[in-house]
C-alpha cells in the first residue's frame, strides 16, 4: 500500500510567517555567499542548507491517504490537507465524477474536519464517498459544521453520493477484498481512534490525537494485545516536548520522547512523528527530530533491537510498504 501525507500540523493551520520566510532567505543567501565558487552549482548550495531552511514541514492540518495495491483510496481525516488532495484528485477521475473513496475519521475536533467544505470532489455529481467511523452521529456533526450560518453550501446539499458506516469495535472492515481496517479507542478529550490498515503481510497504523504518558505504553500494550506491535509503519502523535507534555497534562497529546518509547516498545519498523505543535517553528521541529533520533538510538541499543527508522512528518512525504 502507498501512504501519503497531506497535512501534518496539529490543532490549527499554521502558515509560514513573513519573519520566518525572511530568516530563510537570509540563511540561503549567507550560505551561497560563503560557499560559492565558479564550480559550485545551485544544487550544491541547497545540499549545504540545514533541513529547516531547505524544507517546509507544512502548515496544513491532518490528512493522510492510503492507496491499496488495487488502487482503492482511503482518506484519513479531513483537516486542511484535504484541500490540496482534492485539487489533485479532480485532475483525475474525480473531475469526471468517477471516484469512489472511503473516509476514516479519528475524531471530529476542528483540525480533523475543517478541510471537508473545501474538498472539490465532494461537489461533483457521480463521485461517491463512504464516511467510516465508530462515531454514532458523524453525519450530524459534519452537517453541523457546514450549516448555512457557517458556510455558504450545506454538506447534504453537495452533489456527490454520501454513505455513512458506523464501525464496531473488534469487527474489521474490508475495502475491495484487499485492505483490512480495524481500530481501537485512544485517550484524548472527547475520544479518538487509531486505525490499522493491513494488506497481505504489511501493516500501517495511524494514531494521532492520543496521550501516552508514564507507564501507559506497557499497560496499553497489554490491554490491546498486538494492535501496534511490529507495524511496518506507525504515524504517531508527538505534539510536544517532554516539558510541554508535563505542563499540558491531560490535553490529549504525546511528547516526542514518549512517542519514541512507544515505537521501541512495539518494535515498529518505521515511526513517523506527527501533529506538530502550531507554535513550533521548523527550526524547533528540526531540533526535536535530532533529539528524538538520539533518544531512539540509545533506547534501541538498551532494548537490544534494531533501530526503527524515524521520520518527521512532512507534507508530501510518501511511503510504500
Ligand atoms: Zn488534532
Ligand atoms: Zn483532537
Which residues contact residue 321 at a Cβ distance below 8 angstroms, ignoring those fewer than 6 apart?
A: 1, 3, 202, 204, 232, 233, 270
pLDDT given at position 225: 67
The CA 306 to ligand 1 mean position distance, Å, reads 31
pLDDT given at position 319: 98
Confidence class for position 165, pLDDT limits 50, 70, 90: very high
Confidence class for position 213, pLDDT limits 50, 70, 90: confident
Q: Are residues 6 and 38 in the same domain?
A: no
| Residues 276 and 57: beta-carbon distance below 8 Å | yes
Question: Which ligand has the nearest atom to the CA of 275?
Answer: 1
Question: Which ligand has the nearest atom to the CA of 107?
Answer: 2
Give percent of the chain with pLDDT exceeding 70: 100
Cell numbers 518494535 label which residue? 267
The CA 143 to ligand 1 mean position distance, Å, reads 20
pLDDT digits (tens, 9 = 90+) for 25-76: 999 999 999 988 878 889 999 999 999 999 999 999 999 999 999 999 999 9
Domain CATH for 293:
3.60.15.10
| Residues 1 and 204: beta-carbon distance below 8 Å | yes
Question: Could you tell me the end-to-end alpha-carbon distance of the chain, in angstroms, rounded to an integer?
Answer: 6
Question: Which ligand has the nearest atom to the CA of 188?
Answer: 2
The CA 126 to ligand 2 mean position distance, Å, reads 32
Q: Are residues 29 and 104 in the same domain?
A: no
Q: Are residues 158 and 128 in the same domain?
A: yes
Q: Are residues 190 and 245 in the same domain?
A: yes
Q: Are residues 173 and 109 in the same domain?
A: yes
| pTM more than 0.85 | yes
pLDDT given at position 39: 83
The CA 147 to ligand 2 mean position distance, Å, reads 21
The CA 162 to ligand 1 mean position distance, Å, reads 24
Domain, as residue range, for 44 = 18-54
Q: Are residues 153 and 206 in the same domain?
A: yes
Residues near ion ligand 1 (Cβ under 5 Å): 111, 209
Q: What is the mean pLDDT of residues 199-221?
A: 89
- Least confident segment among 133-147, 181-195, 205-219, 299-313: 205-219
Bigger pLDDT: 39 vs 198: 198
Closest to 182 in 3D by CA, of 91, 190, 174: 174
pLDDT digits (tens, 9 = 90+) for 81-126: 999 999 999 999 999 999 999 999 999 999 999 999 999 999 999 9
pLDDT digits (tens, 9 = 90+) for 173-184: 999 888 999 999
The C-alpha atoms of residue 105 and residue 102 are separated, in whole angstroms, by 10
pLDDT given at position 220: 74
Q: Are residues 49 and 96 in the same domain?
A: no
The CA 107 to ligand 2 mean position distance, Å, reads 7
Question: Which ligand has the nearest atom to the CA of 278?
Answer: 1
Q: Are residues 297 and 229 in the same domain?
A: yes
Query: Number of folded domains in the chain?
Result: 2
pLDDT digits (tens, 9 = 90+) for 263-299: 999 999 999 999 999 999 999 999 999 999 999 999 9
Q: Are residues 141 and 37 in the same domain?
A: no
The CA 112 to ligand 1 mean position distance, Å, reads 6
Q: Are residues 283 and 301 in the same domain?
A: yes
Question: Which ligand has the nearest atom to the CA of 12?
Answer: 1
Q: Are residues 288 and 185 in the same domain?
A: yes
The CA 181 to ligand 1 mean position distance, Å, reads 21
pLDDT given at position 36: 82
Q: Are residues 203 and 273 in the same domain?
A: yes
| Residues 308 and 264: beta-carbon distance below 8 Å | yes
pLDDT at 153 over 80: yes
In 10 A of CB 52, how many CB atoms?
A: 21
Q: What is the rounded average pLDDT for all residues in the chain? A: 95
Amino acid at each position: 500500500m502507498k501512504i501519503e501525507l497531506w497535512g501534518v500540523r496539529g490543532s490549527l493551520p499554521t502558515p509560514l510567517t513573513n519573519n520566518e520566510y525572511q530568516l530563510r532567505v537570509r540563511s540561503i543567501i549567507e550560505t551561497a555567499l560563503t560557499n560559492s565558487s565558479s564550480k559550485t552549482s545551485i544544487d550544491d548550495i541547497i545540499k549545504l542548507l540545514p533541513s529547516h531552511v531547505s524544507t517546509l514541514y507544512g502548515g496544513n492540518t491532518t490528512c493522510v491517504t492510503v492507496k491499496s495495491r488495487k488502487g482503492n483510496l482511503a482518506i484519513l481525516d479531513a483537516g486542511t490537507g484535504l484541500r490540496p488532495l482534492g485539487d489533485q484528485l479532480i485532475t483525475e477521475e474525480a473531475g469526471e465524477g468517477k471516484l469512489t473513496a472511503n473516509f476514516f475519521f479519528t475524531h471530529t475536533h476542528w483540525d480533523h474536519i475543517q478541510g471537508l467544505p473545501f474538498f472539490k470532489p465532494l461537489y461533483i455529481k457521480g463521485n461517491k464517498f463512504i464516511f467510516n467511523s465508530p462515531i454514532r452521529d458523524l453525519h450530524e456533526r459534519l452537517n453541523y459544521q457546514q450549516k448555512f450560518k457557517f458556510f455558504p453550501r450545506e454538506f447534504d446539499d453537495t452533489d456527490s453520493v454520501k454513505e455513512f458506516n458506523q464501525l464496531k469495535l473488534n469487527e474489521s472492515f474490508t475495502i475491495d477484498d484487499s485492505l483490512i481496517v480495524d481500530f481501537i479507542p485512544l485517550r484524548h478529550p472527547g475520544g479518538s481512534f487509531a486505525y490499522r490498515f493491513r494488506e497481505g503481510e504489511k501493516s500501517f497504523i495511524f494514531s494521532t490525537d492520543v496521550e501516552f504518558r508514564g507507564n501507559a505504553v506497557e499497560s496499553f500494550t497489554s490491554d490491546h494485545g498486538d494492535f501496534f506491535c511490529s507495524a511496518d509503519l506507525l504515524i504517531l502523535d508527538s505534539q510536544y516536548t517532554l516539558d510541554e507534555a508535563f505542563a499540558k497534562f491531560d490535553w490529549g497529546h504525546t511528547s516526542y520522547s514518549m512517542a519514541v518509547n512507544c515505537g521501541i516498545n512495539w518494535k515498529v519498523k518505521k515511526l513517523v512523528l506527527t501533529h506538530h505543535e502550531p507554535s513550533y517553528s521548523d527550526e524547533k521541529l528540526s531540533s526535536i527530530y535530532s533529539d528524538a533520533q538520539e533518544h531512539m538510538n540509545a533506547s534501541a541499543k538498551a532494548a537490544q533491537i534494531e533501530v526503527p527508522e524515524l521520520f518527521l512528518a512532512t507534507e508530501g512525504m510518501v511511503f510504500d510498504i
